[in-house]
Structures are given as structure tokens and as C-alpha cells.
Amino acid sequence: MRWFDFVRKGFCRALLFGLFLVTGVSSSDAADRTIYLTFDDGPLPGTENILSVLRQENVPAALFMVGLHVETIPGGRDLLAEAKAIPLVTVGNHSYSHANNRYRNYYSNTDAVVADMLHANQVLGLVPKVHARLPGRDVFRLPTVSKEDLSINVAQWEREWLDYELVAEAGFYLYGWDFEWVHSDDGKPVQSVDRLLSEIDHLFGYGRFVQPGKMILLMHDEMFQDKFDGQENLRTLIRQLRQRGYRFGDIRTYAP
Ligand SMILES: [Zn+2]
């Protein structure tokens, strides 16, 4: 080996090691930890509180809305318009009927599922490509990301996979979620904000998300229906996450 080959190899090794160090450092950097706030099932009585906090805190979020609620909830159309007027808020499609909460039955009819999603586009005033979340299913169908709902069994998936494909083909980007702030039947959050924060920290340490470094957090509108507690919980969550160095991501840039 000639001396300059030796030097060149040594240099390459040093460069690689340097790269390793750089990437090693950046992947543990809090700035790479992005959280996507998502709220399902509005417009409902929590929507006003959610929007108010999002405006105050100036953070992006996606609200996956139900067409039927726009038409039946008092002030539903105004809440929809209010959400759409906030530049950092993405109004997404969460179906027209929310499957009437009978998911197996809903997904047994592919044409009806596609029609229900398209009906919601009309009510919500959305044009393709539409950011969407299927009712009751943690499914991703994005140009660069595809993931199945691991909570349903294979036999059920075989009955439903065509629904997901054809909905996506009809002009939808489908988003599931990485983690949920769970609520009980009365709408109250199950985890305290502190508990949720430590779970989020833990999950980022463990790092098993659909996209590395990106957590889509699922919440439901009804958790925020109490004007005081609802706003307070959401505000505290956002401020604490920010203080811990997390970034808030816009769902429109989740999978470019
Ligand atoms: Zn829902």
C-alpha cells in the first residue's frame, strides 16, 4: 500500500467516524423529536376549547372531523369554518357517518365506505388530496408510508384491506396514530398530563414509531369539552412538551 492510499483510507475512516458522531448526536437531539397533535370526532362540544388553545399557543394540529357532526351539532358549521380559518390547523376527513360506531359492518361494504368518505368531503368542503383518518382503524396509506391496524386479526384484515386501498385511491391520505391520550366513557382523560408526558418521553427513548422521530398523538374532541379543565389540560401538555424540547409538526409535512 502506497503512503497516500494509507492516508486516504485513514481519512475516509475518520470521515465516517465523524459522520457517525454527527448522526449519533443529532438522533438523540430533542429537536428531532416531533409530535403531531391530532383530534378526532369533531365538531363536538370540545372543538371550541381546542381551537382556542391552538390559537393561543400557535401550534399546528390536525382535526379529523365527522360530516354528520357538522350537520347535527349546534354551531357545527361555524366550528368547521373557524377551524379552517386557522392557518396552522388542518381539517381532515373522518368519514360522514363514523361507521355509526359499527366498524365490522361498515367495512363489509367497500363501495359504501368510499361513498361515505366522499360524502364527508362534500360536507367538510375538502378537495383531494384530502388528509383523512378512517373511523375505528389505525391504518396508514401515504405515498411513502403504509401500515396496517395491528389490533384487528388477519381474517378481518382480509375482509377490509380493499376498502383501505380504494379509499386511498379515491384521493385520500390516510393517517393512523402512534400513541393515544386515552379517555374514559365520560370523556375524562385516563392519563394525567404528567403521566402522559412521562409515557411520551419513554416512547421516544424506545423509538418505535411509524416514522422515526415522529409521533402522531391521537386525542378525542370530547376530552376537552370542559371549558376549564379541557383547555387547561391541553395548554399544559403543549407547554410542557415545548419545554422538554419537542417540536410540533404539521401533518401536511409528515410524509413528504
Ligand atoms: Zn373517531
Domain locations in the chain? Answer: 3-253
pLDDT of residue 30: 53
Closest alpha carbon to 171 in 132, 125, 123:
132
* pLDDT at 26 > cutoff 80: no
Q: What is the pLDDT of residues 87-110, one digit of tens each?
A: 999 999 999 999 999 999 999 999
pLDDT of residue 199: 97
Do the Cβ atoms of 193 and 229 come closer than 8 Å?
no
Q: 235 C-alpha to center of ligand 1: Å?
A: 22
Which residue type occupies 204? F
Long-range contacts for 73-78 (Cβ within 8 Å, ≥24 apart)? 73/43, 73/44, 73/45, 75/43, 76/43
pLDDT band at 204, cuts 50/70/90? very high
Which CATH code fits 3-253?
Answer: 3.20.20.370
Q: 45 C-alpha to center of ligand 1: Å?
A: 15
Q: 65 C-alpha to center of ligand 1: Å?
A: 8
Task: Give the per-residue SS3 of the chain.
Answer: CCHHHHHHHHHHHHHHHHHHHHHHHHHCCHHHCEEEEEEEEECCCCHHHHHHHHHHHCCCEEEEECHHHHHHCCCHHHHHHHHHCCCCEEEEECCCCHHHHCHHHHCCCHHHHHHHHHHHHHHHCCCCCEEECCCCCCCEECCCCEECCCCCCHHHHHHHHHHHHHHHHCCEEECCCCEECCECCCCCECCCHHHHHHHHHHHHHHCCCCECCEEEEEEEHHHHCCHHHHHHHHHHHHHHHHHCCCEECCHHHCCC
What average pLDDT does the chain have?
90
* pLDDT at 20 > cutoff 70: no
pLDDT band at 144, cuts 50/70/90? very high
pLDDT of residue 29: 53
pLDDT band at 75, cuts 50/70/90? very high
Q: 32 C-alpha to center of ligand 1: Å?
A: 29
Q: 99 C-alpha to center of ligand 1: Å?
A: 9
How confident is the model over 209-238, as a mean pLDDT? 97
pLDDT of residue 28: 44
Q: 136 C-alpha to center of ligand 1: Å?
A: 6
Which of residues 208 and 252 earns the better pLDDT score? 252
Q: 154 C-alpha to center of ligand 1: Å?
A: 22
CA 155 vs. chain centroid, Å, equals 26
Q: 214 C-alpha to center of ligand 1: Å?
A: 21
How confident is the model over 5-11, as a mean pLDDT? 45
How confident is the model over 56-64, as a mean pLDDT? 98
Q: 238 C-alpha to center of ligand 1: Å?
A: 22
* pLDDT at 159 > cutoff 80: yes
pLDDT of residue 208: 85
How confident is the model over 205-210, as a mean pLDDT? 89
CA atoms of 68 and 116, how far apart (whole Å): 10
pLDDT of residue 31: 54
How confident is the model over 1-10, as a mean pLDDT? 45
pLDDT band at 206, cuts 50/70/90? confident
CA atoms of 90 and 26, how far apart (whole Å): 29
CA atoms of 251 and 140, how far apart (whole Å): 13
* pLDDT at 79 > cutoff 50: yes
As given in the structure block, the three cell numbers for residue 113 are 365506505
Q: Specify the pTM.
A: 0.88
CA atoms of 174 and 147, how far apart (whole Å): 10
Q: 109 C-alpha to center of ligand 1: Å?
A: 19
* pLDDT at 18 > cutoff 50: no
- Residue identified by cell 419513554 is 202
